[in-house]
């Protein structure tokens, strides 16, 4: 794991580690490199391939043939892959989709609206929830 501020060379260090694993004989599909943004994941994959192309053409050709198996992605993408692969075990619909922030925000607003309306109608459970939320601030 590498944790450092922007511009400190994280992508370079991760690319070097990735290449070192490849050179030590680890298969492409057994290496996982995770970042937080799509841009960083694309940059890391590009950096790995550029370095291999200039430093080790034979390994580059081998990796290029197996490029679809490269797991260089965001944490969200990786977790989504796991949840799709193990949807039964996670008790998820295999066709689930991740809500976008705007969708989840709208869903939250809809739920909150319904709770407030039910509380206004005097439903006891909702009133207790509102009182609890009011106490928490």
| β-strand pairing of 71-74 with 32-35 | parallel
Does pLDDT of 135 surpass 60? no
| Rounded mean pLDDT, 118-126 | 66
The pLDDT value given to residue 82: 87
Question: Minimum mean pLDDT among 17-21, 26-30, 94-98, 128-132: which range?
Answer: 128-132
* Structure-block tokens of residue 17: 């580690």
- Cβ neighbours of 84 (radius 10 Å): 13
Question: Minimum mean pLDDT among 18-32, 37-51, 91-105: which range?
Answer: 91-105
Contacts of 80 (CB under 8 A, 6+ apart): 98
Dump pLDDT digits (tens) for 23-32: 999 999 999 9
- Cβ neighbours of 62 (radius 10 Å): 14
Domain coordinates in residue numbering, the chain: 10-85, 101-136
Confidence at 21, pLDDT banded by 50, 70, 90: very high
Cβ(48)–Cβ(19) below 8 Å: yes
CA angle 20, 74, 101 (to 5 degrees): 170
The pLDDT value given to residue 137: 47
Which of these, 3, 91, 95, 75, lies nearest to 32 by C-alpha position? 75
Does pLDDT of 54 surpass 70? yes
In this structure, what DSSP letter does residue 96 have? -
């Amino acid at each position: 794991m590498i944790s450092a501020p922007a511009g400190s060379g994280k992508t370079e260090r991760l690319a070097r580690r990735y290449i070192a694993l490849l050179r030590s004989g680890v298969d492409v599909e057994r290496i996982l490199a995770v970042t937080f943004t799509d841009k960083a994941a694309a940059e890391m994959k590009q950096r790995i391939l550029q370095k291999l192309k200039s430093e080790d053409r034979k390994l580059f050709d081998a990796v290029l043939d197996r490029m679809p198996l490269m797991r260089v992605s965001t944490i969200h993408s990786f977790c989504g892959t796991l949840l799709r692969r193990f949807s039964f075990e996670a008790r998820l619909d295999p066709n689930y989709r991740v809500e976008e922030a705007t969708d989840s925000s709208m869903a939250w607003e809809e739920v909150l609206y319904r709770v407030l309306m039910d509380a206004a109608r005097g439903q006891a459970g909702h009133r207790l929830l509102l009182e609890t939320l009011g106490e928490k601030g």
